Structure 1
């Protein structure tokens, strides 16, 4: 008998799940064009919100002359010229249908166990979080991210690691997902490397002793994506990124949408991870021009992000 929640089942088991052909072809073409334009502007300093080599984690500084970028931040920012195109994808059904399954908001998900009279509509529990673009750096050298979990620092003890992962005595996670995180490839992308199942356990001795950029960690898997494919993954799975350097005058390289959507009602648990990226500084003036039910969904998600606050004095999850 097939499962009614195959994506959630895979995420719980492996810590990640691939979704082939998530973006319809016409949407993929529009996103490719928008991201080519956006990346070119960012590399020329026409968009200040970027991730720069060799820095791996926030806080990010604004673009400066000579910067080599590996990411473009804030695709939903009110000053982003192509934000409407990005918003159509971020708030669209192809992405959010998977998100709602992963957050237990589908018909057979965890949320359906509640009293129907007390249960809000699934869209009313979604929170706008992050939507960024990951790109290839310019140059002959590759840029690599160290092995990490997004919200557990590598120097914590096994006991503290288990506590922060919220593990039960049998090693499984205690609670449902509080957010869904994903990469959507616009061109071929084999940059993400993960260790399946590591989201639901503390690190092994080999993983603790491994070099930060260990190229062959036991059990690792390279997540290969074709244009339009997506991978949704637990942010605390052991993972790293390997970005192949390119000649940006001749190659497009990697252009991959990197986003997350939250579950309302968990602001204090999730606020630092989201707001450390600076999204709280502009979301208050980021109303969208989308019409109809999608527009209502977008505005509701935006307001729920505003309720998290600005992010000042919350600190940062990782250092480097």
Structure 2
């Protein structure tokens, strides 16, 4: 039987069910709805705005396709629910297996929520999270060779068919045909026009773990309810290589004592790894991974 690690290494992604217990599921749904309500009412400023694909995000549009910083203590009780699940044994054990590291080495990184816009559908262009669309093949190959020390995932609280991915593209540069579909700022009219693309459908409670430098895009239908937990975690031994991709989202709030107090002992250990990364990389040198 093929292991999840073998599938992940070969395809660049793997779907795992059952990482939310029956007791956790209604708590996460309630916490997500509270975060969505605050964001749509305008009282939660950390959001991904329709019309802007990548950070830095602005307030140019009142509609949102994502909510940032779910573990921020300003979010109140929902933040504790999200923190408890992010550091749960079920989740961290899978991350450690995929990264082939000890759970002691896991670094706390990002935890966000992907939601459906209300006013209009929206899409992200085909991209790799930390490789510019203009990168020539040799630059792409060099970036892909070092991008194996963190894992990203989407966990669907409702059925989700938004993510499109090109299996195996985490290991090789784009073909000339694939570059045609991924070298501009424009989102695709039809994501399936990309050679090799597949659409992933997650059932409620399923999680797709993926290498975030796999070639992927997303299409958000404003008529279909979406609340998908979107997060990442890394092996602290190699976090410097991932620093820009993580710290570009603005994480100064993780230094607050009340955030540390919100975490379990395991979470506090993971936080310590992130705080060390912040010390290693000056804020003024971070920049942004992508444009658009």
Instruction: State TM-score, norm by structure 1.
Output: 0.84
Other-structure match for 2:52: 55
Aligned mate of 1:287, from 260, 268, 272: 260
Other-structure match for 1:213: 187
- Structure having the larger proportion of residues in helix: 2
1:29 aligns with 2:1: no
Aligned-pair CA distance for 1:17: 0.3
* Alignment partners' CA distance in 2, 1:312 and 1:78: 25
1:7 aligns with 2:21: no
Decide whether the 8 Å contact of 1:128 with 1:304 is kept in 2.
yes
Other-structure match for 2:238: 266
Is there any run of 5+ residues in structure 2 with no aligned partner, and where?
none
Alignment of 1:150-165 (within 5 A): 150-165=129-144
How many residues in Structure 1 have an aligned counterpart in Structure 2? 280
Other-structure match for 1:232: 209
Aligned mate of 2:166, from 180, 195, 206: 195
Other-structure match for 2:112: 132
Aligned-pair CA distance for 1:288: 3.3
SS in 2 for 1:307: helix
The superposition leaves residues 76-128 of structure 1 with CA deviations (integer Å, 9 ceiling, x where unpaired) of 112111111001110001211110101103xxxxxxxxxxxxxxxx2321100
1:308 aligns with 2:277: yes
SS in 2 for 1:37: helix
Decide whether the 8 Å contact of 1:126 with 1:263 is kept in 2.
yes
Other-structure match for 1:172: none
Alignment of 1:96-107 (within 5 A): 96-105=92-101
The superposition leaves residues 262-310 of structure 1 with CA deviations (integer Å, 9 ceiling, x where unpaired) of 111223211111000111x1111121334xxxx2111011111011116
SS in 2 for 1:184: strand
* Alignment partners' CA distance in 1, 2:45 and 2:181: 35
1:71 aligns with 2:70: no
* Alignment partners' CA distance in 1, 2:164 and 2:179: 17
* Alignment partners' CA distance in 2, 1:93 and 1:163: 33
1:86 aligns with 2:66: no
In structure 2, relative to structure 1, the CA distance for the partners of 1:180 and 1:208 (3 Å cut) is same
* Alignment partners' CA distance in 2, 1:260 and 1:288: 21
Decide whether the 8 Å contact of 2:155 with 2:205 is kept in 1.
yes
Other-structure match for 2:123: 144
Aligned-pair CA distance for 1:73: 0.3
Decide whether the 8 Å contact of 1:134 with 1:256 is kept in 2.
yes
* Alignment partners' CA distance in 1, 2:181 and 2:68: 30
Decide whether the 8 Å contact of 1:272 with 1:311 is kept in 2.
no
The superposition leaves residues 164-191 of structure 1 with CA deviations (integer Å, 9 ceiling, x where unpaired) of 212xxxxxxxx68211110000011000
Instruction: State TM-score, norm by structure 2.
Output: 0.91
Is there any run of 5+ residues in structure 1 with no aligned partner, and where?
106-121, 167-174
Other-structure match for 1:113: none
Other-structure match for 1:256: 228
Report the RMSD for the aligned CA atoms in angstroms: 1.6
* Alignment partners' CA distance in 2, 1:132 and 1:194: 20
Larger Rg: 1
Aligned-pair CA distance for 1:144: 0.5
In structure 2, relative to structure 1, the CA distance for the partners of 1:176 and 1:156 (3 Å cut) is closer
SS in 2 for 1:299: helix
Decide whether the 8 Å contact of 1:21 with 1:227 is kept in 2.
no
